[in-house]
Structure 1
Amino acid sequence: MQLEGKNVLITGGTRGIGKSMVRELVNGGVSKIAVIARDRDNLKQLSQEFEDVKFLRIAGDVANIEVLRETAARIEDKWGHLDILINNAGIVSAGPLEDIPDEDIYDQVAINYTSILLLTKYCIPLLKSAEEAAILNISSGLGLIGMPFYSVYASTKAAVRQFSDAMRRELAPFNISVTCSFPTATNTDMMQKFKDREMDSPELVAKRSLEGMLNKEIQVIFGGEERLKENRLNFEDPAALDEVVAQNYEQRKTASLDHKAV
């Protein structure tokens, strides 16, 4: 699959990994991009930064069903079909479950998962109208391994993994591929609390994730061999990984406090 000439929809495309993806898309020859984001000023800045791109700018929250329906309707009206859907928007509110505000639990589920279900649903007819189409879902390394103090975030990201598998199999007869990407710690606004930690760049995550989509890879997993070993251990002997995690329990708890980007 090639990027040139494709119609693309991306959520959360004005910052972090999303904006880096927009840049990669433009460099690959994409000139029609629909973007859903909450900040109108950031949406306008996209148009100023990428002057040759015909943006469909949708200012709104992906947790709002009407915003998602409007987006699909506008794409059908303007373009007639969609080649690539990138479900990227996400938020985090960490800490002990009993301390996470109810609203933050609800919003994480709504934005990180429910919005992906609904937007994909509304876009399937548009994707089926393309000769060849692709969906890229951005999960997280925590979607592969559930860690303490990230119970809500990790469970939403694990749901994205399962949804990706199900949709890949459901849409295969229609020449629609589905790729799920699992970034580890990435240097974005969501990770400002951990400035001194070694992290991947959003540019790297964007480039590698899009490459995986174009190559029709099922999964793109970040974190190197160490993450792959943890994944295997979690699957083969989760009790053993429990012991590893328990060794720095208090450190993990302290690190999670005030880790909030909503």
Structure 2
Amino acid sequence: MQLEGKNVLITGGTRGIGKCMIQELVNGGVRHIAVIARDKQNLKQLSQDFEDVKFIRITGDVANIEVLREAAALIEDKWGHLDILINNAGIVSAGPLEDIQDEDLYDQVAVNITAVFLLTKYCIPLLKASKEAAILNISSGLGLLGMPFYAAYGSTKAAVRQFSDAMRRELAPFNISVTCSFPTATDTDMMEKFKGRVMDSPEFVAHRSIEGLLNKELHVIFGGEERLRENIMNFEAPKEFDKMVAQNYEDRKKASLGHKAV
């Protein structure tokens, strides 16, 4: 798959991995990009940063169904079809489950997975109208491994993987590929609490994720050989993985406290 001339819709594209993916798209020849984001000023900044791109800017929260419907309607009106959908927006509220506010639990589900369901649903007719279409869903390494203190966040991201696999099989007859990306710790605003830790750069994550989409990879898993070994252990010997996680339980708990990015 080639990027040049494609019409793209991305959520959460004004900063972090999302904005870096826009740079990748532009480098590949994309000139029509629709972006859903909450910050109107950051959306305006995109037009200054990427002067050659004709943006459709949708200001709003992806948790709002009307915002998602409006985005699909605008794309149908202005472009007639969509070539690439990137479900990137995500939020996190970590810590012991009993200490997380109810609203934060609801919001993580609404943004991280319900919005992915709905926006994909609304965009399927637009993607079917493309000669060759693709969906890129951004999950998380925590969507592969159930880790303490990230039960809600990790569960929503695990749902993104399941959804991606199901939609790949459902949309295969229509020449629509689906790729799911699983970043580990990435140096973005969401990880501000962990400054000083070795993390992937958002540029690297964006590059590999877009590369995976173009190559029609099923999964793009970050974290190297160590993460692959953990995934295998978690599946084949979960009790052994439990023991490994338990060795630094208190450190994990302490690190999760205050980790909130919405």
TM norm structure 1: 1.00
| Partner of residue 17, structure 1 | 17
Which residue number corresponds to residue 176 of structure 2? 176
Verify: 1:246 aligned to 2:249, yes or no: no
Q: In the alignment, does 2:103 pair up with 1:103?
A: yes
Please tell me whether residue 88 in structure 1 is matched to residue 77 in structure 2. Answer: no
- Asked if 1:188 corresponds to 2:188, the answer is yes
Q: Provide structure 1 residue ranges, at least 5 long, that are not aligned to the other structure.
A: none
User: What is the CA-CA distance between 1:250 and the residue it aligns to?
Assistant: 0.2
Q: What one-letter code is carried by the residue in structure 1 that aligns with 2:106?
A: Y
Q: Write the deviation string for residues 193-226 of structure 1: whole angstroms up to 9, x where unpaired.
A: 0001000000000000000000000000000000
1:64-121 deviation digits (Å, cap 9, x = unpaired): 0000000000000000000000000000000000000000000000000000000000
In structure 1, the partner of 2:212 is 212
Equivalent residue of 2:216, what SS? coil
Distance in structure 2 (CA, Å) of the matches to 1:35 and 1:77: 15
**Within 1, Cα distance between the matches of 2:146 and 2:234?**
9
Structure 2 counterparts to residues 1-262 of structure 1, below 5 A: 1-262=1-262
Deviations 1:134-188 (A, max 9, x none): 0000000000001000000000000000000000000000000000000000000
Q: Which amino acid aligns with 1:205?
A: V
1:234 partner letter: N
The alignment partner of 2:135 has SS state of strand
Secondary structure of the residue aligned to 1:186 is coil
Distance in 1 separating the partners of 2:210 and 2:49: 21
Distance 1:175 1:81 in 2: 14
CA separation in 1, counterparts of 2:22 and 2:228? Answer: 28
Q: SS in structure 1 opposite 2:117?
A: helix
Aligned-partner Cα distance in 1 for 2:50–2:165: 34
Local SS of the residue matching 1:145: coil
How much has 1:241 moved relative to structure 2? 0.2
Aligned-residue Cα RMSD (Å) equals 0.3
State the AA in 2 paired with 1:44: K
Give the Cα–Cα distance (whole angstroms) in 2 for the partners of residues 196 and 6 of structure 1.
Answer: 38
CA displacement 1:45-72 (0-9 Å, x = unmatched): 0001111100000000000000000000
- Paired with 1:208 and 1:118, the residues of 2 have a C-alpha distance of 26
- Which 4+ residue blocks in structure 1 deviate beyond 2 angstroms? none
TM-score computed with the length of structure 2 as normaliser = 1.00
Is the partner of 1:197 in helix, strand or coil?
coil
